[in-house]
Amino acid sequence: MITESNNGAPEKLPEKKITEEESRIKQAFMDRDWNEIKTNDSWAVFKIMSEFVEGFEKLSKIGPCVTIFGSARTQDNHPYYKMAEEIAALIVQHGYGVITGGGPGIMEAGNKGAKKEGGKSVGVNIVLPFEQTSNIYIDPDKLITFDYFFVRKVMFMKYSQGFIVMPGGFGTLDELFEALTLIQTKKVGRFPIVLVGSDYWKGLLHWIEEIMLKQEKNVSPKDLELINVVDSAADAVEVIDNFYSKYLLSPNF
């Protein structure tokens, strides 16, 4: 940018440095020619395909598993961390493997509990600029790392026989509502969904019941039956066991 100085001579001001986020926003409004589209998007398609192929190949062999969702930020001295570890251990004792998002926090606790009991410990990791590195309790042959969230979520939904949802943030909510939506719309079978920690979830559940259901009628009463809320590890695993006993299914021990 050129301005005029006090003595009338032209003066060049330093240009504002564009952040990566601002650059991404600007690029969304730029016209692209066919060669650019073909080059960038075609390679993205191949990368997406390769992630699906790797995920299908590895996870198709793991057998019945339960996924544990929850925050990556939960410390190992937190009660929710201890409970996730206990839930994972019980899941393994009942004949299932454990799948997590592969990172720290609740995910680490889930893999740790499964590993301690000698069960299958699966990590479906994601590349992020912060926070997410794979934990040490995942079986080496059962760790997959993805670039794309949507591919990762497909793996969770396709290869899980149930979902244990511990307290977490936006990512945990995203995974919870992905599971609920797919079950509600009958895109996947009606697998059990268990929310752990009634105090944590009560605000969200109140809003769903009072606003979404009663006030706006955006869901049906039957949809709320998809959600189970518990406060102990034993109760969480009991929901999974009772569900499969009801439908005359059992895991492969």
- Domain annotation covers residue 99: yes
Read off the CATH number of the domain in which 237 is found.
3.40.50.450
Q: Is residue 150 part of a domain?
A: yes
Q: Which residues pair with 165 in a beta bridge?
A: 69, 195
Alpha helical stretches, state H, the chain = 20-27, 34-59, 79-93, 106-116, 149-158, 170-184, 198-207, 221-224, 233-246
Residue 57 lies in a domain: yes
- How do residues 66-75 score in pLDDT, each as one tens digit? 999 999 999 9
Q: Look at residue 99 in the predicted model and tell me its pLDDT.
A: 98
Query: pTM for the complete prediction?
Result: 0.83
- pLDDT at position 253: 46
Establish if 39 belongs to a structural domain: no
Q: Which token pair is 126?
A: 């994601």
Predicted local confidence at residue 245, as pLDDT: 85
Are the CB atoms for 80 and 106 separated by under 8 Å? Answer: yes
Residue 42 lies in a domain: no
Count of the separate structural domains present in the chain: 1
H or E element, residue 228: strand 227-230
List pLDDT tens digits, range 59-115.
Answer: 999 999 999 999 999 999 999 999 999 999 999 999 999 999 999 999 999 999 999
> Is 11 part of any domain?
no
Residue environment code for 52-72, b if the CB has 16+ CB neighbours within 10 A, otherwise e: eeebeebbeeeebbbbbbbbb
pLDDT at 217: 97
Residue ranges of the chain whose pLDDT lies below 50: 253
Supply the pLDDT for residue 133: 81
- Find the domain containing 229 and state its range: 47-246
Sign of CA dihedral 78, 225, 235, 109: negative
Domain membership of residue 62 (yes or no) is: yes
In a domain, 235, yes or no: yes
